[in-house]
Amino acid sequence: MLNNYHTPVLLNEIISNLHIVANGTYIDCTAGFGGHSQAIVDKLKNGNLICFEQDYDAYNFLLKKFKKNKNVKIFNENFTYIDYEIKEKVNGIIFDLGVSNYQLINQNRGFSYKIDGPLDMRMSQKNKLTAKTIINTYTKQQLVDIFKKYGEIKKPQKIVDEIIKIRKQKAITTTLQLQKIICDKTKGSIHRKHPAKTYFQALRIVVNDELNALKQGLEKAVNLLQKYGILAVITFHSLEDRIVKHFFKNITIAHDFYGHDVPLYQKIKPSYCLITKKPITPTQAEIERNHKSHSAKLRVLQKIC
């Protein structure tokens, strides 16, 4: 289903890889505006869907959207609580990482370098840390580290120096203020993408502790899969994808009890197998329909014993 708030990415691909059984139990860890969830529900008869969504606005939207579906349970929680809320083994779990279009275009949420708004970037309204706090209170070294590590920016020093200089005079409180600082300082250099994009990405990752949540979520999700259960994950940038790729690789290769590589006859067979040797990416037609899908990568694994 398409709606104004978000267009689900790789919808057919994720659904066909889930091999949904009508009486199965499925978890959507990042339910957003319910595009993927709806496609799962449409294939269920006596089965159940459990949704996690940390954004309160999206959670309320989901409550209304699925109010007639007694087989859909929705938690306004971080997916790192998945093992706390769910004790049964399930047939399939999906993650569709990152932000929804609603979050991106909503002025009040402060995710976009193109739209003016408060420097916020919190996906969960329960979260205390905002981008404004980071930009105005973190030390020079902390800011440099954040932009290097999470924005993969080689030399952020010039921009961090400017942030420090400006914030001494007046707090930096809006997205366009920060965008302007970045653009002014990178004027004249050639960029493949908007110069503010990776700075904003880095801040968003830290505000929402996205990479730690992903690592925890994956660990917990595979433990909830029943035999032949499927885990499918869509990522949107290389830092996320690297985590998923390595995690999938590590749990699908034979190893000894301690995880070491040993001679073949001593190896313990893995409990999971890779379904996608290479990630599934959107077709040209999908990218033309929905440009935001262009960087999406879908990786899938299955529990085999």
Ligand X SMILES: C[S@@+](CC[C@H](N)C(=O)[O-])C[C@H]1O[C@@H](n2cnc3c(N)ncnc32)[C@H](O)[C@@H]1O
Contacts with ligand X by CB under 6 A lie at: 6, 8, 30, 32-36, 52-55, 58, 78-79, 96, 98-100, 123, 213
Backbone angles phi, psi at 18, to 5 degrees: -75, -20
Beta carbon of residue 94, minimum distance to ligand X (angstroms, whole number): 8
**Nearest CB to ligand X, comparing residues 48 and 156:** 48
The least distance separating ligand X from the CB of residue 183, rounded to whole angstroms, comes to 27
β-pair type (90-96, 225-235) = parallel
CB of 205 to ligand X, least distance (A): 11
Q: What residues pair up with 300 in beta bridges, in sequence order? A: 232
Contacts of residue 199, Cβ cutoff 8 Å, sequence gap at least 6: 113, 147, 151, 153, 156, 159, 178, 182
Instruction: Report, in Å, the least distance between residue 8 CB and ligand X.
Output: 4
Q: Which residues have CB under 8 Å from 225's CB, separation 6+?
A: 89, 90, 92, 93, 231, 303
Minimum CB separation of residue 16 from ligand X in Å reads 16
* Residue with Cβ nearer ligand X (14 or 172): 14
- C-beta of 102 vs 113, nearer to ligand X: 102
Q: Minimum CB separation from ligand X for residue 93, in Å?
A: 13
CB of 78 to ligand X, least distance (A): 4
Least distance from C-beta 293 to ligand X, angstroms? 10
Q: Which residue's CB is nearer to ligand X, number 161 or number 219? A: 219
